[in-house]
Structure 1
């Protein structure tokens, strides 16, 4: 995928990895819609703030109308509630699934026709190493990310022939607010991951591995 002159919509772009990704896309010559539940918190010069709450379908529909020139969708918005599936609050578990599965499904359903109508482009889903492994205290998150991984692969097949590259980025802890409780030595620089992700899109990769830890986990899955 050619990123120069691409028109990107990034969910959760007001902070963390989404903000870093938006900045690097700008540097590569793309136009960027920085989508967020609170667009007034978007502070990155050069982007176009866009209201989009992935848990509210009507906001997704309106965002697709506004960003009618989009050629790249990045499903980055996320939450991590550390909720157990067997004993945790069911509404919180549903929030994880709404954010990581039904939200991306909704954005893809609305933006895929837009992207196809603009000549094609790409969709990048920010997944996780926890799409593949499911440790204690991450039950709701892992289940939602595993569902998003399956969604990514299924959508890729469904959009075949529409000139839309569908890619998944798998990564472990990044040095962002969401992982502020994790020791620094166990986190990856989000700028490094963003470069890997964008290079992967440029190379046409459908699966992008963002760090060595995730790569080692994938290599050990057959065991």
Structure 2
């Protein structure tokens, strides 16, 4: 389990959508300071929120943030890039660019902060996945989230000796600007953030944040054809 009260945290992609909700939830639970990152960060009125510039596809940028935020005990790997389309018809350059952010970028953050978390007592790494880690239908985006999920499972084992709690979070659509125009069921970002904070404090390794994630996770033991959309 991880203590949020009086801790210092970092949330990548923390100035909008779910990232913003996560930063607010951590502060509500007593975090002393939360670094929030964006490619071009905006000023924050709350002095407990510290904006930092981060481009996860740039190793130097990741290293600079790890240097600046050397006091963190909780790191939330939330930054990511959207994508869709068929795999067969995809431009490989576009696929590589998507993996550069969603897979290698997240791994860069984990690698850079693993020794920081270890020095600060272990703490926690939270990786924000998607129900599309398990479902086809969104081409390279689904593939990138599946790869990220696999990396998280390996990180959980490798970081355990340092006492680092690794939490994987799966969710469907959430009610943010990115999907505002989609007529689909959406989760409240604040509710998802609260579930993540509960998992940290309860020592859990996985968050299934909504009904669709719980349903699909349960279906993984069945025929792979059942995971296709429309089945």
Same fold (TM over 0.5): yes
**Uncovered stretches (5+) of structure 1, i.e. residues with no partner:** none
How many residues are treated as equivalent by the alignment?
Answer: 219
CA distance in 2, matches of 1:164, 1:149: 17
**What residue is the counterpart of 1:211 in the other structure?**
210
**What residue is the counterpart of 2:175 in the other structure?**
175
Greater Cα offset, 149-158 or 44-53: 44-53
**Uncovered stretches (5+) of structure 2, i.e. residues with no partner:** 223-231
Q: 1:90: Cα distance to partner?
A: 2.1
1:11 aligns with 2:12: yes
What whole-Å deviation, never above 9, does each CA across 1:169-220 have from its counterpart, x for those lacking one? 000000112222321x511111111101110111111111101111011112
Matches within 5 A, 1:64-143: 64-135=66-137, 138-143=138-143
CA distance in 2, matches of 1:188, 1:166: 23
What whole-Å deviation, never above 9, does each CA across 1:146-185 have from its counterpart, x for those lacking one? 00000000011111210100110000000112222321x5
CA distance in 2, matches of 1:213, 1:83: 21
3-state SS of 2:11 partner? strand
Q: 1:10: Cα distance to partner?
A: 0.6
CA contact (8 A) 2:44 2:50 kept: no
Q: 1:83: Cα distance to partner?
A: 3.3
CA distance in 2, matches of 1:176, 1:92: 24
TM-score (ref. length: structure 1): 0.94
CA contact (8 A) 1:9 1:74 kept: yes
TM-score (ref. length: structure 2): 0.91
What whole-Å deviation, never above 9, does each CA across 1:2-47 have from its counterpart, x for those lacking one? 11112111100111100111011111111100111111x2546230
**What residue is the counterpart of 1:160 in the other structure?**
160
CA distance in 2, matches of 1:42, 1:213: 36
Change (3 A) 1:198 1:96: same
CA distance in 1, matches of 2:140, 2:161: 34
Q: Which of the numbers 62, 65, 76 marks the counterpart of 1:63? A: 65
CA contact (8 A) 1:81 1:92 kept: no
**What residue is the counterpart of 2:228 in the other structure?**
none
Change (3 A) 1:181 1:92: farther
